[in-house]
């Protein structure tokens, strides 16, 4: 059933003042199972621990709590699927810039809903054959879809993730979130720019670049 949530009509029918219409419409969404999504930026990031293939090609774990204990920023990015086409361009581009992230005390974690075994097979495939080759950061396996769902990037009907990227500070606060359509790869320069902007702790105007002054208010 489609409900008309026009404020004047609901206000009259329900006997509720117009200023309460927003609350009523929210209740309708809730009752229909279409509850409005909550914001994530500025709140504590969902905690995660996942199995992963580490840079030495061994299996291990990645954990947001561990990064926080080590006073590190976390750059967590999701991609749809191993052995695809746009994904390796992003994953290798991030790896090639690893030292820049490391210099900024940031831990990079890539994740998809594939298994660690598929990750490892892809890492062992040469870049010339659409593989990843050696990586400088871990690839995590969100095989139960919990983390992708927690971060709002899971395509439920397909069981894969959108291209979501999240920057989390050492206190566990989610500072930045961006989600791309799966056809579009992300820009490593922009990720590094935003990370450095966040680390200034100041007000960064449009088109701010690292090394430039922040706004004085």
CB 147 within 8 Å of CB 48: yes
Written as six digits, the tokens of 22 are: 């927003």
H or E segment to which residue 116 belongs: helix 116-123
Any idea which residues carry the catalytic annotation? Answer: 87
Strand 106-112 with 139-141, pairing: parallel
Written as six digits, the tokens of 63 are: 């954990």
Cβ-based neighbours of 197, under 8 Å, separated by 6 or more: 204, 208, 210
Where are the extended beta strands (E) located within 95-189?
106-112, 139-141, 154-155, 160-161, 163-168, 174-180
Question: Token match 């593989």: residue?
Answer: 131
């Amino acid at each position: 059933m489609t409900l008309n949530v026009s404020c004047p009509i609901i206000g009259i029918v329900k006997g509720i003042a117009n200023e309460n219409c927003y609350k009523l419409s929210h209740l309708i969404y809730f009752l229909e199972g279409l509850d409005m999504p909550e914001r994530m930026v500025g709140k504590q990031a969902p905690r995660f621990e996942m199995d992963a293939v580490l840079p030495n090609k061994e299996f291990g774990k990645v954990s947001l709590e561990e990064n926080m204990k080590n006073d590190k920023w976390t750059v967590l990015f999701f991609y749809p699927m191993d052995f695809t086409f746009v994904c390796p361009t992003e994953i290798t581009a991030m790896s090639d810039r690893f030292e820049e992230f490391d210099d900024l005390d940031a831990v990079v974690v890539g994740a998809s809903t594939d298994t660690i075994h598929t990750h490892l097979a892809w890492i062992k495939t040469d870049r010339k054959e659409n593989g990843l080759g050696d990586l400088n950061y871990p690839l995590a396996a969100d095989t139960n879809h919990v983390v992708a769902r927690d971060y709002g990037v899971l395509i439920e009907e397909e069981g894969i993730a959108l291209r979501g990227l999240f920057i989390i500070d050492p206190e566990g606060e989610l500072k930045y979130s961006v989600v791309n359509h799966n056809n579009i790869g992300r820009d490593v320069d922009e990720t590094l720019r935003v990370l450095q902007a966040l680390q200034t702790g100041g007000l960064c105007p449009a088109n701010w670049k690292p090394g430039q002054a922040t706004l004085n208010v």
